[in-house]
Amino acid sequence: MVSIKDIARRCGVSSATVSKALNDCSDISARTKKKVRAVADELGYFPNSSAKALKTNKTNTIGVIYNNRLGNGLKHPYFSAVIQGFKEAVEEKGYDIIFIGEIKDEKPLTYYEHCRHRNVEGVLVACADFYDSQIGEVLRSDLPSVVIDFFSRREHSVCSDNRQGMRDILEYVYEMGHRKIGYIYGDTSLITTVRLDTFTETMKQLGVPLVLDYIKQGKYSEAERSEELVSEMLSLYEPPTCILMPDDISAFGGIKAARKLGLRIPEDISFVGFDGVMMGQIIEPKLTTVLQNTTELGRRAADLLLSRIKGEEISELKKHTLIETSLIKGQTVARLTT
């Protein structure tokens, strides 16, 4: 491996001069810097990141805590797309990311201990149980952090505008003539609460009756559970004409249940998803859904976290960032005539 001493020997200068030239110090002339860098490139020199970190107290490394309870890891289409957007944005600024988990050794390390062990400069927390004590330990620590899909006055967060997304769904379904509207919502979480509250508020504003048999709790991204709940709903004496699902994967399960009963989509029963994953726009009929701007979510989370790492002042408005959603009208909602 090429060392600073090798470059110094070739250039006829001291190792200290080479080090200063490579670190762009002001007391080294532009001519010497150019010569040193040219030789370093020629010899294939790469700086030792560990040694650099010891000198500068910077590792240019960001931790990502991604604790997916569903067990499908980075195959989850929504969160994997958000993290990809985050990764691209931080890499443009010269940072690397590593995934933080519990290290199960003789003495297991918590998330916070793992962050310290890896000497990360900041942490993105996504798809996690935000009420877990280990997550709380990270968020309460001196490590700069940003959370995805969670809101509290204390945390710095980036989240889709779930209220607007839910309102857009219901107003569109209402305009299409539906008055018997069902809703299967996801696991208990802040996002679920926001969506459920907005559902009930908007239904009342539209003058559409809330039918308890049309509202059921399911699970996010579990097609099988959604299939069961949709089957129950469709077996009612007066079933809904349109069912809102917690996400697109759940919508696929609902569509499967309807087809098993010999029903056509959307002629006999309509469905709406949430997320806007690519598969929903490939299947026939194309899924009507709310598109979450995953790339923008990831990039805005990166910008916010890098600002925190640099110690920049962040206004209360920028501390909690809402990203606009958009409605994809698709082909799974029928127009009803009265």
pLDDT tens for 41-94 read 888 877 665 555 545 567 789 999 887 655 555 667 888 889 999 999 999 988
Query: Which of 42-56, 116-130, 147-161, 229-243 has maximum average pLDDT?
Result: 229-243
Q: Write the pLDDT tens digit of every residue in 145-179.
A: 999 987 777 888 999 999 999 999 999 999 999 99
How would you class 108 by CB atoms within 10 Å of its CB: exposed for 0-12, middle for 13-18, buried for 19 or more?
A: exposed
> CATH number of the domain at 162-293, please?
3.40.50.2300
> Is-above-0.85 flag for pTM?
no
Q: What is the mean pLDDT of residues 117-124?
A: 90
Alpha helices in 266-312 (DSSP H): 294-309
**Comparing C-alpha atoms, which of 333, 178, 304 is closest to residue 240?**
178
Q: Which fold has domain 4-47?
A: 434 Repressor (Amino-terminal Domain) (1.10.260)
Every domain range in the chain assigned CATH 3.40.50.2300: 61-160+296-323, 162-293
Does domain 61-160+296-323 fall under CATH 3.40.50.2300? My reply is yes
Domain with CATH 1.10.260.40 in the chain: 4-47
Q: From edge to edge, which strands make up the β-sheet containing 242-244?
A: 215-217, 181-185, 242-244, 270-272
- Please provide residue 289's backbone torsions phi and psi, each rounded to the nearest 5 degrees: -160, 175
